[in-house]
Chain A
Amino acid sequence: MQPILELTNISKRFPGVQALQNVRFDVLPGEVHALIGENGAGKSTLIKIISGVYKPDEGTLRLDGQERPPFSNPREAQAAGIATIYQELSLYPELSAAENIFMGHAPRTRFGAVDWGRMRREARELLASLEIHDLDVNRKIGTLSVGNRQRIEIAKALSLNARILVMDEPTAALTEADVEQLFRIVRLLQERGVAIIYISHRLQEIFTLADRVTVLRDGEYVATRRVTETSEPELISMMVGRTVDDLFPKLPAEIGEPLLEVRDLWRRPYTLGVNLTVRAGEIVGLAGLIGSGRSELAQTIFGIMPAQSGQILIEGKPVRIRHPGDAMRLGIAYVPEERGSQGLIRQMTIRQNISLAVLRALTRGPFIDRQGEKSLAERMIDTLNIRAYSTNQIVNKLSGGNQQKVVVGKWLASQPRILIMDEPTRGIDVGAKAEVHRLMSQLAQQGMAILMISSEMPEILGMSDRVVVMREGRVVGEFSREEATQEKVATAMMSVENGASDAAELAVDGVQTGAKGR
């Protein structure tokens, strides 16, 4: 059969990062083709190319076998019959279900006014064709459940005569009953010849629903398999199967007493009874999928979202942390995930950013000691090898790697004993990455306790003395540096039931359920 959509040699580069490199992907009419990969593997970039949000730098696109230039905007993709349902649904909460379905292409009367009667009728017909009979098309979207909103999105796609439906993690926010109904709808669409591109982290779903699965890793194409000819362990190893090279010069450090201990820490809905210990000189890698609650845990420890219950101990003494100021006084520093919005004041200078967390200490009388501020900034520029021509340079003008170093410098200036680094090397080039890793190693050697959140498996395995895995707000696995392997960590990250202690058996279980599901 001829693919309805076929992409070959797709490459896309963003500043500082090669998002996709020579990727290919195709989907047949009436097929569910799953797309999997770790965080940052390039799935989102690929679907954005398919839906016209990004234009690839290179590559060809064939629609029904006809070669055509890649879509240059979402409208072109829509006209070609491609509809995308994103994780964050893009509906108008104040409008009715029918209005949302026909947003932008409402049926008109002869005089050009919206034909409300026909719109409601057609909306009902569309929903009926999806075997949805209990949804009032006059209700405001804002009053509907997530599952129903998603059904409206699907109906909207069909009203545009979509022949290819892209679903990005459609089950992430659904209840079990909603998931079942979604699967029924997907099968219905399949029978009608709609091609479905299905992205999910839940491998079981893929074995239940998909015909084929394509794996991406680090922006590159790994393989395409029929689900009947593969297994969960094989998919996991394809997703993570990298060689951990010696890019990360982890130096041995003497591990001392616990500096940070977290006991049964709660902050709903993200942090659900977490226990965690980080010792002096130790780097603890915190692994997990996006949305597993790692950053939220860090922000709870740092006082941005203070804990509701549970205990935090610093050097064995229980402490209360109600806001970041408390955490900073206790010697905690947090290099946040979002450099631009959380880590930096981008419109301000390097000097002003580096001093921002320590201004109170940098004063002479009531005034900021400008000379001291300047020499602090100069010292950090030298220590961290920040490429800038002046301490007065606006941070926004620096490259991503140098911006990240400014954030690190800002927190090193506070001389912390406990350093939490959230995705410390995301989106920065290889050279800067190695520098950040060397620095982390050195800091650990000096006795700092480091908690490193990372979505990059080689970073987790390369840098950590211990790996802690979180899933859905809980710690679900812990591995020593020696025990930790890509397969074990990835399995703990992705499995839906049980802990990670019996991760290996679980992976085998997954295959069996998968086989039954087909």
Chain B
Amino acid sequence: MIYVIDHKDSFTHNVVHQLSLFDEVRCTNYYEINNQYLKRASTIVLSPGPGSPKDYPITSNIYKNYKGRKRIIGICLGFQQILYCEGAKIVQQKQIYHGFQSKIKVVSKNSIFKNKNIYKVGRYHSLKLKEPFYSKNFDITMRCDISGSAMALENNIDKIYGFQFHPESFLTVNGNLLIKKILSA
């Protein structure tokens, strides 16, 4: 079972529908975290949402509790939340992408995705990862083809994955395949 924590977003249910293609999914609001679901889930998904990681301390606690014990996936805000919990700084970017389709590239040989592959994806983010960033076992595996901003993270030891873009958006080509891959990795 996959448990999605919804950070009051208007895209979360697109994520839920996409995940439902592969497994049973439960989703509750950030203010109504369900401990039974948390315990039962094999995968925890941190949804997109407004604001920045520091606005959601409960999610940070959940991440720290379950890191290494369950598969964790973060999307957009969720991606930033994982990085934030790993000590990264999340900052405003100069160029802001909302509803924007752009090309991103796989930039790591260690990635479960084929190195140098290019994907067309939908983006909705004001903030980004401040680099350099280093945390044990974490790799930034995809980057914006133009700006170089971090677009995906992988920690294949602890089974932690994150996308800064939105695999569930209609702007992302083959989003289902991206999700399938990290669910089966």
Pairing of A with B: no
